[in-house]
Structure 1
Amino acid sequence: MKLIDFNSRPPISAYQPNADHLQNYRRVYRASEAQASGSLQDYLQAYDRLEAERVVVKAKDAQSTFGVKTSNEEVAGFCAEHGSRYVGWAGVDPHKGEAAVDELRYAVRELGLRGLNLQCFEHRLAINDPQMIRLYRACVELDIPVNIHCGINFSTHSLMEYGRPLLLDEVMVALPRLRVVASPPGWPWVHELVGVAWRHRNLYIGVSAVRPKYLAVAGSGYEGLLQYGNSVLQDQMIFGTSYPMQPIDRAVEELLALPLKDSVKEKWLYSNAARLLELA
């Protein structure tokens, strides 16, 4: 079955998992990340082994809040070095105002990046904050999708509320042409996210930063993703391993083991993301 991994971080110095504000993530994901550790060569070979069609790697800019940045140039360079399998998305700092919009235009038009990545909790801004809306409007102008962190975050330097899925409804009503991937998939407000996605066909749910097997565990809070993702939302579900939060092969195996129709698994693993990335 074809694969697009929509959320992956290569093990290179440009990514900064040990940033101070993310230390609680390291506690939460300690066991899983220990199983995922490996070299860049291991990382590249994993996608060779799976014959992945595309792997989305994302920049981010949280300089104003936490002094960290994975630059657009570094992401574009990684993709150029390792071939067309790797698709880069831009990251800009919404606190930089119009300068951020200009940086996004440059990243798309000159560096060839294909989307925008915004981690609301790292910007300390809610999904519907006016500073975020400015960038969403730029995405519509540039005809690119945006990835918006949605649901819980584990940084105790920021607030959970910034990622509340219900806030997406206001955004989608104001900008009906905006294409959004909400990932991770909204926990503990999964049904809020399901409701917003059911209302707005341009909103995709990114199943990432969670072990897929937990979607089938009673009482986990993720069960709605299976119920609706196997039916009315089957065309709006996108899969990402979130490597190095978990091993790439294991995440794919667990997704394939879920009680989903085979035709739906194909959509989650490949064709929905292919449509978003305009590969098909």
Structure 2
Amino acid sequence: MNARGPMDVQQLAAIDVHTHAEVSAKGAASLSAELGTASQAYFKVEGDRSPTLPEMAAYYRERNMAAVVFTVDAEHATGTPPVPDEEVAEAAADNPDVLIPFASVDPFRGKAGVRRARRLVEEYGVRGFKFHPSIQGFFPDDRMAYGLYEVIEETGTVALFHTGQTGIGAGVPGGGGIRLKYSNPMHVDDVAADFPHLKIVLAHPSFPWQDEALAVATHKPGVHIDLSGWSPKYFPPQLVQYANSLLQDKVLFGSDFPVLTPDRWLDDFAKLPIKDSVRPKILKGNAARLLGLTS
């Protein structure tokens, strides 16, 4: 029987909508050794920062924060099995006060993947799905993925897409075979048009396509932007401007933990010229509404 109580959204300091489960309970990593080492070098991660899911729960509980947590299923392209979605969901069920489970289903899994996505929602309570087009090797507007989007839209869960450059493969010869072109946020515009009730998050400041991301998010009501993967001190000026104005109800705090900690992100975010009325929306309110969390 779970000893932890339900999430008390009103008492939370923040909701981090972008964290990675990188190690399974059996010790298997979600990336190859080459890509994992390159990612840690890119983000200047010191020491071994690969927490287990229970350790992630304890980390966020100490900070009075909740965290959306997911893996990335890119087995078709990389040959590396992901941390199991079921394991992520079970850890969240054991720690419902702080962990919010997302899943990841490789679009190349076809109809079996579509069935799997529905089962993960109905039987495991996942609240959204993470896509990483550059690692998975597909354009988001490829019809191959539309069956997954149909399930996500129908179940009212969230589709979160990596956008822009990625630290995965950076510095490895040929970028480890990872192609940046797949993560231009304009490829998500067709998805937002074809699935008008789908809740979408464009993850990260979308370098070098920041203006494209802002255009899609201002044009399509269901599209949001999370601010993960970058220290806020490096945010482009137009992103800060839109977060403070037109997109103040659609921008979300995300860290990219464990490669970027919420502590560092929040310290740098505090120095940005964000309006007092907007700051709590970005840190918690917008995520709580998008995820359907009760206060």
Structure 2: unaligned runs, 5 residues or longer: 1-11, 170-174
Aligned to 1:71: 84
- CA 1:44–1:71 in structure 2 vs 1: closer, same or farther (change >3 Å)? closer
> Equivalent residues in 2 for 1:112-127 (5 A)?
112-127=125-140
Moved more, 57-66 or 8-17: 8-17
- CA 1:124–1:23 in structure 2 vs 1: closer, same or farther (change >3 Å)? farther
Contact 2:57 2:99 in 1 (8 A): no
Aligned to 1:148: 161
Aligned to 1:139: 152
TM-score by length of 2: 0.85
What SS does structure 2 have at the residue aligned with 1:204? strand
Aligned to 1:250: 264
Q: CA RMSD in A?
A: 2.1
TM-score by length of 1: 0.89
Contact 1:88 1:115 in 2 (8 A): yes
What CA distance in whole angstroms lies between the structure 2 residues aligned with 1:89 and 1:10?
10
Aligned to 1:90: 103
- Structure 1 residue 179 displacement after superposition: 0.7
Contact 1:36 1:243 in 2 (8 A): no
Q: Deviations over 1:81-140 (max 9, x none)?
A: 233310101111111111000000010000111111111112100121112222112211
Q: Are 1:178 and 2:198 counterparts?
A: yes
The count of residues paired between Structure 1 and Structure 2 equals 271
Contact 2:22 2:83 in 1 (8 A): no
- CA 1:48–1:173 in structure 2 vs 1: closer, same or farther (change >3 Å)? same
**Partner AA of 1:6 in structure 2:** V
What CA distance in whole angstroms lies between the structure 1 residues aligned with 2:83 and 2:49?
20
Moved more, 162-171 or 1-10: 1-10
Name which of 225, 241, 258 aligns with 2:255: 241
Of all paired residues, the percent bearing the same amino acid is 30
> Equivalent residues in 2 for 1:1-280 (5 A)?
2-10=13-21, 12-13=23-24, 15-29=29-43, 31=44, 33-34=45-46, 37=49, 43-52=56-65, 54-68=66-80, 69-154=82-167, 155=169, 156=175, 157-215=177-235, 222-280=236-294
What SS does structure 2 have at the residue aligned with 1:233? coil
